[in-house]
Amino acid sequence: MSATTNGSTDAALRGRRLGDAVFAGMSRWAGALILIVLAAVAIFLIAQALPALIQGTDEGESFLAYVLPLAFGTVWAAALALAMAIPVAIGIALFISHYAPRRLAAGLGYIIDLLAAVPSVVFGLWGIQVLAPATVPLADWLTANAGWIPLFAGPASGTGRTMLTVAIVLAVMILPIMTAMCREVFLQTPRLNEEAALALGATQWEMITMSVLPYGRPGIVSAAMLGLGRALGETMAVAMVLSPATVISFALVTTQNPATIASNIALNFPEAHGLGVNTLIATGLVLFVITLAVNALARWYVNRRTVG
Amino acid sequence: MSGVSGTPRVRAVRASAARTSCTAVGFRSPPVYLDWGRCSRRVVPTAPHTATRGSVIALPRARALLATFAAAGLLLSGCAANEPGVDADYDGPSGRFNASGSSAQEAAQAAWISGYQEAYPGVTINYSPVGSGAGRANFVEGWTVYAGSDAALDEDEGPLVSCADGATALNLPVYISPIAVIFNVEGVDDLRLDPDTMAAVFNGTIGTWNDPAIAALNPEAALPDAPITVVHRSDDSGTTENFTEYLHDTAPDVWTEEPSDTYAYRFAGADGNQGNSGVVEGVRNGRNTIGYADASRAGGLSSAQILVEGEWVSFSDEAAAAAVAASPFAERADEHDLVIELDRTGPAGSYPLVLVSYMVVCSEYRDAGDAAFLTDYASWVASEEGQARSAESAGSAPLAEATAERVREAVRSIGADG
Amino acid sequence: MSAITRANPLTAGRLPRWANLAVFAAAAVVFGVGLGLTAAAERAEFPVPAFVITTVLGYLVLLVVLSRVVEGPRRAKDRLMRNLVVAAFLLALTPLISLIVTVVGRGAARFDITFFTESMRNVTGEGGGVLHAVVGTLEITAAATLISVPIGLLTAIYLVEYGRGWLARAITFFVDVMTGIPSIVAGLFAFSLFLLLFGPGSRMGLSGAVALSILMIPVVVRSSEEMLKLVPRDLREASYALGVPKWRTILKVVIPTAIAGISTGVMLAIARVIGETAPLLITAGFTQSMNYDLTDGDMMSLPVFVYNSYISQGVDAQAYIDRAWAGALTLILIVMLLNLLARLVAKIFAPKLGR
């Protein structure tokens, strides 16, 4: 069947190839645009950060000395938030997927998603006005009775603007994302595996540890990494709630808390000029690198699990 | 991502309610069946003149949704009720002018801007409280017509883009606010602190409320045996700079650090909060706390009396303005560049713990329109009504008449290039 | 006629159904009385948080011990974990309820018509409204959506339909990286970009929209990718078998099938960026008056309004604080509305797979 017997087929073929070419090109360029934008952001960060990396801060100290407490504070706050949020997120996800009555489950999921709807400024306001004063009696009790543990070393802060409060606020902020992802993963567990465990006489918890949790482990790790990424980059809530100092300290309830990189930028950028601006952007670059490392680690762990 | 339903579940087709009429949202294309069994009408590929064409997505509620969106759109596109716009016969100044700078001045700037805009509705002034440093940088780069700054613009901060060639920047003091030393200690209503004791408290040397140094100054007060929590600013601020300047000038042996806008001392009892309101909240909600904040925001908290030339003085507008009026102007290149060198040891009866904030302008503008607006606006700011307005809305201390007259004189000297 | 009572094999060795409740009540009574007596002896207030914590812990310990004795270790563990899971849920509800009560309680003070029909022009002290901020937020977010949805959707299409090889792998990895860009860095980047392009006067709503789209694009790409992958291959292959070219298949078959999930993903991305303060502080700036033009001058947005109202108050501090909380309530309501819309759209547009 020759293509020339019907002229419209010929034109249709050409149109088809053109359409395919155009569309494929458009989508490829959209992807490339993302790479270009990211490269531009990286170049911008490096170009602005270079003077600070070379010369140090405008008060004469080396850049490393400046950024080390900040990097520590960022990772420490995010790690604390993650430690608080993971068990609760897994618990809630299990509750919604396996323990709650069917009809209630969807509604409960939505209620937790409501937390995701709250912007970080509002969390900051809530943290200052409600949570910080509420943690003061707890801080007093901890320093009085458990002060020998370095985490709870005193003296307790009188205003509640401590690393403990910030960790709680961050944990509440990353909870909905992690819960939603864990919930999706737990719901995908093959029913056959679950029912096989139950048929063999396992209690519900044993069924969960045998079939649901192992199946969902990569998903839980992904959810944790997602939450960690959010906690690392959180700016406004931490800036409003934390009482910062340039220290590397593990104490949770004192007034001297290590600041995080993002909140440090937010607090000092308005008054910064000259080398100060470069220093702040350089700390932003460090944060970017930390987040990159965390993402790469997560991706490697998940891929290792699924391939192997 | 969260909220997205997972694998589409196979659902039994509901036989009953599917007979609702459908609204066709037409895609002009060969039809594709996307609703399986919901619509009572099926679309069949027919000749082009048939009315129903295109794929059908069942949207029985689409009309209701559309109506809601339209209503919301109408509601939001309406103009603000408090912005009636400009009358047809308005012939005053008009245009939009940008300014930025100190956040301490923000409330006062809002008061002056609103007064000016009420008189001239054709003008819009946007003041961004991005901080003194950024404000000065914006002004130097020519993005703003004036800057609000807690520190004077130095001659070496760069060539002034929007000013005429050879022009200099003029710093005009327009905002005075006393800094109150606020505290919250149960059972203690009055507190007196002399400079040495105050410096020792604020740098951590004195750690408890019933320390002998404090008790000696306040014999009748029932000072508790409790640790002092010092609440300071966590962000860089002009309030901190002025406060530390006072401490450094009056108690140099105790407060050895140079004054700066970052709080220099860190110790176990020091709590950093963001913004004036953060410090006030921290003092108010905490226990046995003491801090420093703009007096206009001190809202109901008790404040300490300071020692000035042997007398105990509480903060007040008159005392603050008196301290500024008694201080000399610094030696600057231009006689109209009014930078005040505050005498922190002050004349008796004045309150030298003040923050003075400047309006940084060009001595000569490149653009005549800018110059016309600026001179008009700045003279309003420095006028008696302007200062009264900011005192009422922002709690600032009105400029003493002598100072205000120097400012108005400087404003009159501003011109335009060509 | 045998008088031997045999144990019911279904309930033998098990705690009765009301056991949980009974143990909880017992723990509450014991600790309540104990703490009450000590409080009375010390003439202090009844410590409510201590009461709650000790009751819950006591209940758990008592229940596990009882269960272990009666039912055996496996069932005891099961009971314990069941209660812990419920406790986790209730624990998560506590901050949510506290937040909602705080925001609604404090925000209701200014939730009136004036608030939604006026801007802050010439307002110092009481009164004023948030209309300029709401209009600014809606315009900036709409612009950000217009920028990020086409780019994000096309990228997702590339990754799912076309991508093989190094470009697709690079894009996937870097989209993940992009999710981790701190919002303030995105703001700084957009500000510098516009500074480069427009020089002075680079503060405009469009700059804020660009900053927000940098934050939105990875979310749109990720969720669209997931949704496109879920479209069954049979559908595509049927379309190819009918001679439909690939681009038409994507536009007319794949996308409409996945439109529910895609629009949900887009709505969620919007909900995420609509509350961002830091980038908008730097790029779009401040104004107290209405500004409808995205390309001309500062534009106020709702999160910046809330932040600013709280941080810089005037003499009448309570008026500012009231406005801040009412603005926060408005913001939450807008985001909740978007979430609801996402679910509604997903329900309406989702293809019914039953035949």
Are B273 and A113 inside 8 Å of each other by CB? no
Could you tell me which of A168, A171, A170, A176 has the C-alpha nearest to residue A111? Answer: A176
Residues of B in contact with A270 (CB under 8 A): 103, 130-131, 133-134, 235-236
Task: State residue B321's pLDDT score.
Answer: 87
pLDDT at position B68, please? 54
**Measured between alpha carbons, how far is A106 from A160 in angstroms, rounded to an integer?**
36
Mean pLDDT calculated for residue range C44-48:
80
**Pick from C119, C297, C353: CB nearest B11:** C353
Whether residues A104 and A253 share a domain: the answer is yes
Residue with the bigger pLDDT between B92 and A146: it is A146
Distance between CA atoms of residues B320 and B169, nearest Å: 26
Q: For the residues C46-63, what does the mean pLDDT come to?
A: 88
Residue A75 identity: V
| In-domain check, residue C192 | yes
Same domain for C146 and C79?
Answer: no
Q: Which pLDDT does position B182 carry in this prediction?
A: 94
Residue C123 shares a structural domain with residue C199: yes
**Other chains touching B, judged by 3 or more CB pairs under 8 Å:** A, C
Say what percent of chain C tops pLDDT 70: 97
Domain match, A130 and A44 both? no
Whether residues A9 and A99 fall in one domain: no
Query: Which of C92, C109, C126 is the C-terminal boundary of a domain?
Result: C109
Residue A77: pLDDT band with limits 50, 70, 90: very high
User: Is C154 an interface residue toward A (CB < 8 Å)?
Assistant: yes
**pLDDT tens for each residue of A266-306:** 888 877 777 888 888 899 889 888 888 887 887 787 777 65
Distances from the Cα of A14 to the Cα of A8, A9, A10, A17, C238, angstroms = 10, 9, 6, 5, 22
Residues C69 and C173 in one domain: no
Q: Sign (positive/negative) of CA torsion C146, C152, C157, C158? A: positive
Output b/e per residue, A280-302; b: 16+ Cβ within 10 A: bbbbbbbbbebbbebbeebbebb
Helix, strand or coil, per DSSP, at residue B314 = coil
Do A24 and C248 form a contact (C-beta atoms < 8 A)? no
End-to-end CA distance of chain B: 61
Same domain (yes/no): A51, A168: no
Instruction: Check residue B336 and give its pLDDT.
Output: 85
Residues C39, C80 share a domain: yes
Decide if C2 is inside a domain: no
The two beta strands, B415-416 and B364-365, are parallel
Say if C133 falls within a structural domain: yes
CA distance B224 to chain A (A): 15
Is A243 in Cβ contact with B271 (below 8 Å)? yes
Cβ neighbours of residue B403 closer than 8 Å, sequence gap 6 or more: B173, B321, B324, B325
| Residues in CB range of B31: below 8 A, 6 or more apart | B43, B44, B45, B53, B54, B55, B56
The overall average pLDDT reported for chain A is: 85
CATH of residue A275's domain is: 1.10.3720.10
- Whether residue B191 contacts residue B216, with contact meaning beta carbons closer than 8 Å, is answered with no
B397 DSSP assignment: B
- Residues A48 and A84 grouped into a single domain: no
Examine the fold and report which residue of A15, A32, A55 is the final residue of a domain before the chain moves on: A55
* One domain, residues C168 and C311: yes
Q: Measured between CB atoms, which of B6, B235, B271 is closest to A157? A: B271
Cβ-based contacts of A159 with chain B (< 8 Å): 229, 231, 271, 273, 282, 285-286, 289
Interface check for B87 against chain C (CB to CB < 8 A): the answer is no
Is residue C160 predicted with pLDDT exceeding 70?
yes
Q: How confident is the model over A78-96, as a mean pLDDT?
A: 93
Q: Do C134 and C94 lie in a common domain?
A: no
Beta strands in B185-331 (DSSP E): 192-193, 229-233, 270-273, 289-294, 302-303, 305-308, 311-313
Interface check B417 vs C, CB under 8 A: no
Amino acid identity of residue B351, one-letter, is Y
- Which uninterrupted H or E stretch holds B362? strand B354-362
Q: Identify whether residues C101 and C139 lie together within a single domain.
A: no
Using pLDDT thresholds of 50, 70 and 90, give the confidence band for residue C134: very high
- The domain total for chain C is 2
Segments in chain C forming alpha helices (H): 19-42, 48-70, 73-107, 113-117, 131-157, 166-179, 183-198, 205-230, 233-241, 246-249, 255-273, 278-283, 302-311, 317-349
Using a CB-CB cut-off of 8 Å, the residues of chain A touching B4 are 184
Task: Please indicate, yes or no, if residue C241 is contained in any of the structural domains.
Answer: yes
Q: Is B47 on the interface with C (CB under 8 A)?
A: no
Cβ(C222)–Cβ(C268) under 8 Å?
A: no
Residue A202: predicted pLDDT: 92
Q: Residue B279 in contact with residue A153, Cβ under 8 Å?
A: no
- Is A49 in the same domain as A160? no
| Full domain range(s) for residue C254 | 115-349
When pLDDT is averaged across residues C104-116 and rounded to a whole number, the result is 86
> Which residues have CB under 8 Å from B288's CB, separation 6+?
A158, B184, B185, B186, B209, B224, B226, B227, B228, B229
Distance CA A59, CA A275 (A): 9
* Close Cβ partners of B163 (under 8 Å, ≥ 6 residues apart): B169, B362, B363, B364, B365, B366
Does the beta-carbon distance from B395 to C314 stay under 8 Å? Answer: yes
What whole-number distance in Å separates Cα of residue A187 and Cα of residue A194? Answer: 11
Q: Kindly state the DSSP code that residue A236 receives in the 8-state scheme.
A: H
Examine the fold and report which residue of C90, C109, C128 is the final residue of a domain before the chain moves on: C109
Query: Does residue A31 have a pLDDT over 80?
Result: yes
The CA distance from B10 to the nearest CA of chain A, in Å, is 15
Residue A170: per-residue pLDDT: 95
Specify the DSSP element, H or E, that contains B365: strand B364-365
CATH number at residue C183: 1.10.3720.10
> Does one domain contain both A2 and A78?
no
What tokens were used for B113?
């801007």
Residue C122 has pLDDT above 60, yes or no: yes
pTM of the model: 0.81
Q: Are residues C105 and C125 in the same domain?
A: no
For residues C100 and C137, state if they share a domain: no
Same domain, yes or no: C133 and C266: yes
Nearest CA in chain C to B120: C122
B329: DSSP letter: B
Final residue in a domain of this structure, among C109, C130, C150: C109
Residues C148 and C228 in one domain: yes
Stretch (H or E) spanning B355: strand B354-362
A205 shares its domain with A88: yes
Residue C135's CB is within 10 A of a number of other CB atoms, namely 23
Cβ neighbours of A212 (radius 10 Å): 23
Whether A169 and A28 share a structural domain: no
Q: Does A161 sit within 8 Å of B2, measured CB to CB? A: no
Low-confidence ranges of chain B (pLDDT < 70): 1-79, 85-88, 417-418
Q: Which of C14, C83, C86, C89 to mutate to test the interface with A (most CBs of A within 10 A)?
A: C89
In a domain, C123, yes or no: yes
Classified as helix, coil or strand, B100 is strand
Let me know if residue C354 belongs to a domain: no
Structure tokens at B251: 């108690």
| Nearest chain A alpha carbon to C188 | A281
Residues A14 and A67 in one domain: no
Clarify whether residues A137 and A174 are in a common domain.
yes
pLDDT of residue C284: 84
How many CB atoms sit inside 10 A of residue C277's CB? 28
Angstroms from C35 CA to nearest CA on chain A:
16
Express as a percent the part of chain A with pLDDT over 70: 96
Characterise B101 by phi-psi region: left (phi > 0), alpha (psi -120 to 50), beta (else): left
Max Cα separation, chain B? 102
Contact B268 A255 (CB under 8 A): yes
Q: Which residues form the domain of A186?
A: 62-307
Residues A197, A88 share a domain: yes
In a domain, C184, yes or no: yes
Q: Are residues C158 and C56 part of one domain?
A: no
Of A30, A55, A80, the last residue of a domain is A55
Distance of residue A110 Cα from the nearest chain B Cα, in angstroms: 8
- Residue C11, domain member (yes or no): no
User: Among A55, A84, A99, where does a domain finish?
Assistant: A55
Domain count, chain A: 2
